[in-house]
Amino acid sequence: MFLTYTNPVYEYRKTADQSAAQPVHHPLIVVGAGPIGMGAAIDAAVQGLDVLVLDDNNTVSVGSRAVCYSKRALEVLDRLGCAERMIDKGVTWQVGKVFFQDELVHRFDLLPRPGHKIPAFINLQQYYLEEYMVDRMRQLDGLEVRWKNRVTAVVPRDDGAELTVDTPDGEYRLSCDWLIVADGANSDVRSMLGLQSSGKVFEDRFLIADIVMKADFPPERWFNFDPSYHRGQSTLLHKQSDNVWRLDFQLGWDKDPEEEKKPEKVIPRVRAMLGEDVDFELEWASVYTFQCRRMPRFRHGRVIFAGDAAHQVSPFGARGANSGLQDTDNLIWKLRLVMQGRAPERLIDSYCDEREYAADENILNSTRSTDFITPKSKVSRHFRDATLELAKRFDFARRLINSGRLSDTAVLVDSPLNTPDGDAFSSDLVPGSVMDDAPVIGHVGGRAVHWLLEALDARFHLLLFVDEDGLKDEQTREMLRSAQQQPIPLHPVLIGPRPLNDDVFDSLVDTEGLAAARCDARPGTAYLIRPDQHVAARWRRLDPQALSRALARATAQNEE
């Protein structure tokens, strides 16, 4: 029981599947109802797939583990229909400060360029994020969650998997065509299948303490290297909602974790950090170690791993849950096309290619942050401290300070689904990058939209920039009409400086010209955008053959 939060209890219910003579078949099963499992399930249901979620517990995260949610993760959650409550409840922050031996050496501002719907980061306790996702799951048809259903065995088959599930009423069996495994860093399913996640273990311990205080600290991220109250180590202070603050203390490898999380050990550390006169109550404390590792391959036949089960990072940089939500964003549309028989099964392999690449980038960045924060040798400590000293005076050194490179999206430059640029663009929105947001006004599929990313739902879109006269060319209109009728429909969206009132195609007004500026677009420029809002191809002038080749490539239907 916490001071500011009471964990909800989700009821276990016995289902007919448990008394069936034969294992009941479900096309898609997700193991784990953490943020990533729920992200997968909600996305599947939003895209019209029936999905069953199995979770061994009956509540949300006990204690807040992940705290910091990135713009991209929130954009994904926004597409899934649950970001608004999170942003309202969370603490929006953008200023970070770095101190070295109590002196401010660097201040950074994460304010994204104006004209983005979603803030750079919010801080929110993980239990709120999960609770809002559970509420969202309950609104969706075709989505069923079974609490207190623990998977105890998985038998992979060529065309799916068979599961044994333990419940308060005993065991039962299920089968599925596809299994998504999102049961966390110590994935039981991974172990059951004899699969490994390998990498590097860091020999250091960290204490996290969540405290409640009504203090006058601003909502900023404060990172302290070698502070006088905690010599030779580092600390972090970060605000969450309900006046809960996250404190993080590097302890060193020799400390006893059970001893260190006792209140009588934690409270003096907090007092030393915040000052004797600050009023606070301890809500939750935990001591952790961490690893940077991943599975060599995220797909094993019909069993697909996502989130921490597939890859794990150190907490510096908030690259855990944020990257896991990008896994399922990447996976679910591919799985839908394959399950509907519209794309070949090898489309799923591109999930591995793309998200393994992203995982490597996240592991690289979080390993580097860890090495900077916890130097392993005398010489690396000298370089670290010299960087911090020089940062007081010189820009270059400030930029080398690595207190966590906060979660950003991997640009999937080498993806086999990309059609490389043939035309010249000055914009960084290369094939493989996430489409940038911009303020717009218009309607898409009868929905009013105010942001470009709101217009891009889980279909393929062709964003075609036009001038104030709209799209007049009959040949292009005919091509776009027929593209809408293909087995994988392409949804055209016209975008221009003025309202178009096109009676066939949806259209947007680029109210501030930011969409065109960010895309380096001129009338005639076209962007082919995947259901996960990644750019697949772009051209200065639309050519029917190039478009159909790019769409085939983006769905793994091209000749190899």
Partner 1 sequence: MHLKTDYNFHDPGQRYFRAYRPGDDFYEALIEAHRDLDDEQSERLNARLILLLCNHIGDLRVLREALDAAREDL
Q: Which residues sit at the interface with partner 1, rule CB under 8 A?
A: 365, 368, 371-372, 377-380, 383, 389-390, 393-396, 399-400, 402, 405, 408, 411, 413, 428, 433
Q: What six digits make up the tokens of 247?
A: 């404190």
- From 166, 189, 176, 161, select the one nearest 24 (Cα to Cα): 176
- From 339, 192, 210, select the one nearest 286 (Cα to Cα): 210
Could you please report the per-residue DSSP string of 60-116? S-SS----EEEHHHHHHHHHTT-HHHHHHHSEEE-EEEEEETTEEEEEEE-PPPSS-
Smallest gap from residue 418 Cβ to partner 1 (A): 14
Nearest to partner 1 of 377, 501 (CB atom): 377
State which amino acid sits at residue 111: L
- From 183, 178, 152, select the one nearest 309 (Cα to Cα): 183
Smallest gap from residue 395 Cβ to partner 1 (A): 5
Smallest gap from residue 18 Cβ to partner 1 (A): 50
Answer yes or no: are the C-beta atoms of 28 and 50 closer than 8 Å.
yes
Smallest gap from residue 347 Cβ to partner 1 (A): 25
**Which helix (H) or strand (E) segment is 325 a member of?**
helix 321-339
Answer yes or no: are the C-beta atoms of 38 and 130 closer than 8 Å.
yes
Handedness of CA 124, 126, 129, 131 (dihedral sign): negative
Smallest gap from residue 53 Cβ to partner 1 (A): 35
Angle between helices 321-339 and 71-79 (to 10 degrees): 40
Smallest gap from residue 339 Cβ to partner 1 (A): 33
**Which helix (H) or strand (E) segment is 441 a member of?**
strand 439-444
Provide the 10 A C-beta neighbour count for residue 288.
16
Q: Identify any residues that bridge with 68 across adjacent strands, giving them in sequence order.
A: 123
| DSSP H helical ranges for 193-318 | 257-260, 263-274
Smallest gap from residue 315 Cβ to partner 1 (A): 18
Nearest to partner 1 of 428, 478 (CB atom): 428
Answer yes or no: are the C-beta atoms of 205 and 251 closer than 8 Å.
yes
Nearest to partner 1 of 126, 409 (CB atom): 409
Nearest to partner 1 of 253, 394 (CB atom): 394
Smallest gap from residue 381 Cβ to partner 1 (A): 10
Task: Report the DSSP pairing between strands 103-109 and 526-529.
Answer: unpaired
Smallest gap from residue 108 Cβ to partner 1 (A): 11
Nearest to partner 1 of 405, 540 (CB atom): 405
Name the DSSP letter for residue 436: P
Q: What six digits make up the tokens of 534?
A: 């990644």
Nearest to partner 1 of 312, 433 (CB atom): 433
Smallest gap from residue 291 Cβ to partner 1 (A): 19
Nearest to partner 1 of 217, 394 (CB atom): 394
* CB neighbour list of residue 185: distance below 8 Å, 6 or more residues apart: 291, 308, 309, 312
**Which helix (H) or strand (E) segment is 35 a member of?**
helix 35-46
State which amino acid sits at residue 249: F
Smallest gap from residue 420 Cβ to partner 1 (A): 13
Answer yes or no: are the C-beta atoms of 519 and 427 closer than 8 Å.
yes
- From 38, 71, 75, select the one nearest 53 (Cα to Cα): 38
Name the DSSP letter for residue 255: S
- From 180, 181, 177, select the one nearest 160 (Cα to Cα): 177
Answer yes or no: are the C-beta atoms of 61 and 127 closer than 8 Å.
yes
Smallest gap from residue 120 Cβ to partner 1 (A): 14
Smallest gap from residue 464 Cβ to partner 1 (A): 25
Nearest to partner 1 of 348, 417 (CB atom): 417
Looking up tokens 């490389």 gives 420
Task: Report the DSSP pairing between strands 160-167 and 311-312.
Answer: unpaired
Nearest to partner 1 of 225, 460 (CB atom): 225
**Which helix (H) or strand (E) segment is 165 a member of?**
strand 160-167
Nearest to partner 1 of 179, 359 (CB atom): 359
Nearest to partner 1 of 178, 372 (CB atom): 372
Nearest to partner 1 of 345, 361 (CB atom): 361
Q: What six digits make up the tokens of 208?
A: 């996290």
State which amino acid sits at residue 167: T
- From 282, 293, 274, select the one nearest 202 (Cα to Cα): 293
Nearest to partner 1 of 177, 389 (CB atom): 389
Nearest to partner 1 of 259, 428 (CB atom): 428
Smallest gap from residue 425 Cβ to partner 1 (A): 13
